[in-house]
Amino acid sequence: MIKPYLRDFKPYPPGKPISELKRELGLEGPIIKLASNENPFGPPPSALKALVEAAPELNRYPDPAAYELRQALASRYGVEPEEIVLGNGSNEILDLLVKACLLPGEEALMSEPSFLMYEKFVTAAGGKAVKVPLKDFHHDLPGLARRITEKTRLIFLDNPHNPTGSIISQKEFETWYEGLPEGLIVVIDEAYGEFVNDPQVLKPLLFKDSSPPVVLLRTFSKAYGLAGLRLGYGIMREELASVLNAIRQPFNVNTLAQVAAQAALKDEAYLKKVLETTWAERERLTKALGDFGFNPHPSQANFILVDLGRPARPLYEALLKKGVIVRSMEAYGFPHCLRISIGTPEENEIFLAKLKEVLSEG
């Protein structure tokens, strides 16, 4: 018997794959994908080397505790390995948090819009997703605080926010956090955290052991270019981490993901190049989109939300026909907006040229 509240459950709408666009429109030339906030520079060469070296051992199960990777992460963040939970993407850790902390009928707070999987995990668990609209394209922290009840167990905050790219500062979080009651957990999802270059941004680990506890989530899918291997991690109190590690699937992080992540963490030159190029291209694209007469929102992530001032669907579809995939924001409640992932300088140049063509064609 299917649970009644799941009968109308809608799947997550991913960015359109390149192969799908080729099938649909019969396009033969190169396709530029700027839709899923992926790292366009490819995996670190050091990670590719580690994958090749690990391949002969794929007949063996992976290390279930991912001992070496947790040691490396613990050293980087100055925490204990027992405070780290690894997942098949940070999505899995979100799911584990909901399973561990939310009873049917209890509530989780989140902004509207935000990463769509927050609501899906909560709903699938029989919980209630309580959504608070953004304020000026930022998290409305006071508005979230006003919606806290005795049933609230989790608060999800993506920082930088997806899809606007805005951030929560350390100062505004401290003011808000002081008034929070006990009995809940604040989850700070920093999937795009590496791309932030604003020194005022929130530092979640300062609140890990405070009350209420704060959980930090990060991923190797974005800045480290390992989206296809699906690896994320959470840093939290050991008491909570031990529960999540007890209920997660065994061998949830495969061997290739573990060795690639360890190599990527050591490859500072790769990360430096990715970040510096992304920052420069983010600034260039923001200016160029403004010059077209659009309203690009300031972003601290590897994407830009741009308000066209009119329905965005026609421009989205016209770009598809030109071989450029961007992200329609209708599912997020922004029908006048597109989200543009930051590509390589060459990809961004092609995007701007195709955008100019589409606009000139009317």
In terms of domains, do 245 and 301 share one? Answer: no
Does 229 have pLDDT greater than 70? yes
Residue 289 sits in a domain of what CATH number?
A: 3.90.1150.10
Pairing of strands 32-33, 324-325: parallel
Residue 135 CA neighbour count, 13 Å, CB half: 8
Does 22 have pLDDT greater than 90? no
Q: Strands, E, within the chain: which ranges?
A: 32-33, 84-87, 107-112, 128-133, 152-158, 185-189, 214-219, 232-235, 295-296, 303-307, 324-325, 327-328, 337-341
What does the pLDDT read at residue 25?
67
Query: Given the structure tokens 């599912």, which residue do they identify?
Result: 331
Boundary-marking domain end, from 266, 282, 302: 266
In terms of domains, do 248 and 121 share one? Answer: yes
For residues 86 and 257, the answer to whether their CB atoms sit within 8 Å is: no
Mean pLDDT over each residue of the chain, to the nearest integer: 94
In terms of domains, do 123 and 257 share one? Answer: yes
Boundary-marking domain end, from 222, 244, 266: 266
For residues 305 and 166, the answer to whether their CB atoms sit within 8 Å is: no
The rounded distance, in Å, linking the Cα atoms of 40 and 255 is 24
Model confidence pLDDT, tens digit, residues 250-298: 999 999 999 999 999 999 999 999 999 999 999 999 999 999 999 999 9
In terms of domains, do 245 and 310 share one? Answer: no
In terms of domains, do 353 and 229 share one? Answer: no
For residues 236 and 216, the answer to whether their CB atoms sit within 8 Å is: yes
What does the pLDDT read at residue 192?
98
Threshold 0.75, pTM exceeds: yes
Residue 318 per-residue DSSP state: H
For residues 330 and 163, the answer to whether their CB atoms sit within 8 Å is: no
Model confidence pLDDT, tens digit, residues 32-65: 999 999 999 999 999 999 999 999 999 999 999 9
End-to-end distance of the chain based on CA atoms, in angstroms?
52
H runs (alpha helix) in 267-344 = 268-291, 313-321
Domain assignment of residue 302, given as a range: 4-43+269-360
Classify 38 in phi/psi space as left (phi over 0), alpha (psi -120 to 50) or beta: beta
Model confidence pLDDT, tens digit, residues 123-134: 999 999 999 999
In terms of domains, do 59 and 175 share one? Answer: yes
Counted domains in the chain: 2
Model confidence pLDDT, tens digit, residues 79-123: 999 999 999 999 999 999 999 999 999 999 999 999 989 999 999
In terms of domains, do 80 and 183 share one? Answer: yes
Residue 141 sits in a domain of what CATH number?
A: 3.40.640.10
Residue 339 per-residue DSSP state: E
In terms of domains, do 221 and 313 share one? Answer: no
Boundary-marking domain end, from 231, 266, 301: 266
What does the pLDDT read at residue 11?
76
